[in-house]
């Protein structure tokens, strides 16, 4: 059913939706949220309890417009999401739909980013993104800052796992040319690079999250330090160490060098080859040999014994070799 002019879609969806129409679960979430803010009594938050909102009941679509404004303080965003998640956990239903609807401006770009080069069925990956978000609603730490950033990261990880599963699945013969490139071939997007570094054992999940949240999201380093229970300087040094490891990893990949995992396998092979008592399969060339080239090959081999007449078959004619 189309919404009338009095039931128009919330403004904070326009920029996210105009880039790419999203099928499936996000259409359902968008429609469900629109009904929450339709009519004379829309679902609202009590702005008097949240610093940064007007001191009145604030409809959820107006809350969403406030949250995506560039001037909105992080404290206001976290206070709103604390109120939303708390009510979702206590009451479910309406407030869980409210959380999903207000998160669409970050969930839709996550899903689009994961599937923009995937030519298979995207519905399962979009559903995994939403599932990761919903699961994180139940246990995200509301005492730490940047709540939505951490919810988005959980949704991204869930969608990324679904994408990898889809890429690793056996494809029908007729569809062999239609599979997408893996996440490692998606143009080096920061989120993909960080996830690849975690899977390679270069970074821990906490280190990747620290880089992603403070470099590519809007979480200030001071807030990250507070969330980690560290001083600003200690968190800054931790990020610097993580970025150095990431830079070394990317340099090795760019130069065609061995990854840490491959270097580990090479080192283990060398340990096995060099262990005491290991049988040598190659004879080292003597350093005194002045010309170990192919011209000397065969000059020191013993001459092959010439068979006698008795060893020849009856009637066989022995040819005289001119080389001897």
Mean pLDDT of 26-32: 94
Determine the Cα angle at 13 with ends 16 and 3, to 5°: 130
Q: In angstroms, how far is CA 275 from the centroid of its own chain?
A: 39
**pLDDT of 243-292, one tens digit each?**
999 898 888 888 775 444 454 444 444 444 445 554 444 444 444 444 44
Location of structure tokens 């060099």: 274
Instruction: Report pLDDT digits (tens) over 184-237.
Output: 444 455 777 887 888 788 888 778 878 877 887 667 888 778 767 788 999 999
pLDDT value at residue 86: 97
Band of the pLDDT at 27, cuts 50, 70, 90? very high
In this predicted structure, what is the pLDDT of residue 38?
A: 92
Give per-residue pLDDT as tens, 207-222. Answer: 887 887 788 766 788 8
Tokens representing residue 160 in the block: 């990324």
Q: Are 142 and 220 in contact (CB under 8 A)?
A: no
- DSSP assigned state of 27: H
Q: What's the half-sphere exposure (Cβ side, CA atoms, 13 Å) at 154?
A: 19
**Burial code of 174-204, b = ≥16 C-beta within 10 A, e = fewer?**
eeeeeebeebeebeeeebbbbbbbbeeebbe
Cα separation of the two ends of the chain: 100
Rg (CA), the chain: 33
DSSP secondary structure code for residue 80 in this structure = H
pLDDT at 130: 96
What is the C-alpha separation between 184 and 9, in angstroms, rounded? Answer: 36
Which is more confidently placed, 269 or 29? 29
Compare 33 and 282 and report the one with higher pLDDT. Answer: 33
Where is pLDDT greater, at 117 or 39? 39
The two structure tokens encoding residue 181: 């490139």
**What's the pLDDT score for residue 297?**
45
Per-residue model confidence (pLDDT) at position 67: 94
Q: Where are the beta strands (DSSP E) in 16-117?
A: 44-46, 57-59
pLDDT given for residue 61 in this prediction: 96
Residue 5 has pLDDT above 90, yes or no: no
For residue 31, the model assigns a pLDDT of 94
Q: Tell me: the pLDDT tens digits for 49-107?
A: 999 999 999 999 999 999 999 889 989 999 999 999 999 999 999 999 999 999 999 99
pLDDT tens-digit readout, 295-319: 444 444 555 555 555 454 444 444 4
Burial environment of residue 141 by CB neighbours within 10 A (0 to 12, 13 to 18, 19 or more):
exposed
Q: How far is CA 53 from CA 40, 76, 86, 98, in A?
A: 20, 8, 18, 17
Q: Are the C-beta atoms of residues 82 and 142 closer than 8 Å to each other?
A: yes
The single-letter DSSP state of residue 213 is I
């Amino acid at each position: 059913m189309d919404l009338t002019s009095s039931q128009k879609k919330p403004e904070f969806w326009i920029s996210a939706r105009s880039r790419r129409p999203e099928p499936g679960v996000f259409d359902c979430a968008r429609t469900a949220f629109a009904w929450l803010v339709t009519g004379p009594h829309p679902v609202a938050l009590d702005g008097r309890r949240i610093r940064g909102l007007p001191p009145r009941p604030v409809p959820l679509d107006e809350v969403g417009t406030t949250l995506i404004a560039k001037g909105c303080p992080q404290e206001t965003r976290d206070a709103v999401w604390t109120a939303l998640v708390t009510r979702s956990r206590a009451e479910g239903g309406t407030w869980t739909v409210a959380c999903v609807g207000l998160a669409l401006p970050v969930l839709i770009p996550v899903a689009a980013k994961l599937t923009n080069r995937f030519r298979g069925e995207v519905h399962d990956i979009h559903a995994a993104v939403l599932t990761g978000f919903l699961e994180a609603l139940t246990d995200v730490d509301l005492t730490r800052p940047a709540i939505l950033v951490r919810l988005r990261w959980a949704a991204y990880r869930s969608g990324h796992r679904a994408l990898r599963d889809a890429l690793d699945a056996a494809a029908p013969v007729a569809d062999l040319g239609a599979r997408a490139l893996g996440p490692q071939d998606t143009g080096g997007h920061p989120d993909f690079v960080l996830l690849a570094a975690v899977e390679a054992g270069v970074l821990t999940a906490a280190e990747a999250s620290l880089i992603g949240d403070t470099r590519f999201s809007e979480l200030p380093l001071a807030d990250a330090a507070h969330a980690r229970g560290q001083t600003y300087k200690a968190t800054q040094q931790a990020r610097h160490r993580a970025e150095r490891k990431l830079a070394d990893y990317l340099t090795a990949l760019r130069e065609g060098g061995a990854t840490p995992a491959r270097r580990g396998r090479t080192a283990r092979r060398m340990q096995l080859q060099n262990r005491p008592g290991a049988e040598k399969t190659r004879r080292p060339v003597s350093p005194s040999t002045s010309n170990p080239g192919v011209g000397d090959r065969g000059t020191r081999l013993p001459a092959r014994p010439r068979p006698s007449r008795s060893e020849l078959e009856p009637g066989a004619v022995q040819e005289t070799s001119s080389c001897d």
